[in-house]
Amino acid sequence: MKHVIILLIALVCVTSCSKEDAIDKQTVLENVYTIEDDPNDPVQHKRYQIYQTYQVPVYFNDTISVKEIGTDWYGNPVKRYETLDLNWGFDSYTTSIKYKYDYLQTEEDKLNALNFAEQYLEMCSKSMRPFSIMLANNLTSTSTSLNIPDNYYVGLRTLVLFDIANITAPDEIQSTSQTIIGDMLIQKISRNKTIVDQFGAVSQELQAYYKIWTIDLECTNVADCDKKYQNITVNNLYEEAPYVLIYNKWDKKEYTFMEYVEKYNLATKEEADADRKLYLQDIGRYGFIRGWSNGGVLSPMNINEDLQYFVLAIVALGKEGFTERYGVSPLVMTKFNILYDYITIDLNVEL
């Protein structure tokens, strides 16, 4: 009987060890987000280089891993899929929205898109870099109420960049990346009611929103410049965001401020530069840097529109550039400091 008991104890120990080994093996999880190198494949090698530099994996397909983990009752293989699922929220999952990708096909398009992604990550501060990036030709959804901005969509663990393979000029990559970064910041800032209220109060106290520059706000420099510079408004003064180019309906081309002035011989470059500074000083007395999106003859419609222009300008110019351009306007700088401190200190974003 004693020998039987000893044998049973030994069997239990062996079984326990086997189960413990099995558990240990199951807890070793493969990191499917690691990008491996293939020097003979230009696309894969570029993905690897980006991953090594920024620790951000980049994909061309939303299914990134398929692994067989066993068989079902009938002997059919059971597979585990790892996907870049945009339906996940921080503590929720949406089943009512379906996303559809149009994948990039050619090596050239993939390499162009990877170059864009690399330049984008280089511009991003570490706190704004995504967990992963999906590169696609296009992205659509089944939801009519879901707003997908141009060129990007932000998921919980994935940033989708699309329709960017044809953006290859360095200055265009930079401006598009700045717009994406600016839009993402606008979304974050807009959720903070305290900051939005502090920012908006500066111009709201002057009752300056959605007013005609030359009548309601008595901007005499704007009135003089409007007469002198045909078809140019306070929305066209510079090339960088938040300004827009001048569309000439006669030749159906777009021009920068200086190109338009030179084309129609409206003033010398020195005179034109001095005049656009007068534009800014005039509207800067009310804390503004440009006008309403649907017509530069009015000030911004509301606080949200105004905030968008400031954030885009801050991203494009940085602190030094913004101060150099708008520093003579105290109210503009008051609004700038509210946003800049929140972005750099609270959100920990480098500008």
Query: 34-90: per-residue pLDDT in tens?
Result: 999 999 999 999 999 999 999 999 999 988 877 777 877 877 787 776 788 887 765
Task: Indicate if 146 and 242 belong to the same structural domain.
Answer: no
Task: Indicate if 197 and 178 belong to the same structural domain.
Answer: no
Task: Indicate if 118 and 166 belong to the same structural domain.
Answer: yes
Task: Indicate if 203 and 137 belong to the same structural domain.
Answer: no
The pLDDT of residue 26 is above 50: no
Task: Indicate if 95 and 224 belong to the same structural domain.
Answer: no
> What is the percent of the chain with per-residue pLDDT over 70, rounded to a whole number?
89
4 located within any domain:
no
Task: Indicate if 170 and 221 belong to the same structural domain.
Answer: no
132/56 Cα distance (integer angstroms):
5
Task: Indicate if 247 and 329 belong to the same structural domain.
Answer: yes
340/319 Cα distance (integer angstroms):
8
Domain boundary residue, one of 161, 186, 211: 186
Domains held by the chain: number: 2
Determine how β-strand 158-162 pairs with β-strand 132-136. parallel
Residue 259 belongs to what domain range? 192-346
The pLDDT tens digits for 146-180 are 888 889 998 888 999 999 999 999 999 999 999 99
111/135 Cα distance (integer angstroms):
10
The DSSP bridge partners found for residue 64 are none
Report which of residues 31 and 321 the model is more confident about: 321
Average pLDDT of the chain to the nearest whole number = 87
Domain boundary residue, one of 186, 219, 243: 186
The residue behind tokens 């159906």 is: 252
Q: What is the pLDDT of residue 24?
A: 46
Task: Indicate if 308 and 336 belong to the same structural domain.
Answer: yes
Other Cβ atoms less than 10 A from the Cβ of 285: the count is 17
Q: Which two tokens stand for residue 350?
A: 């480098």
Q: Are 82 and 64 in contact (CB under 8 A)?
A: yes
10 located within any domain:
no
**DSSP 3-state of 89:** coil
22 located within any domain:
no
The pLDDT of residue 125 is above 90: no
Rounded to 5°, the CA angle 322-328-333 comes to: 55
**DSSP 3-state of 9:** helix
Domain boundary residue, one of 153, 186, 219: 186
Q: What is the pLDDT of residue 92?
A: 61
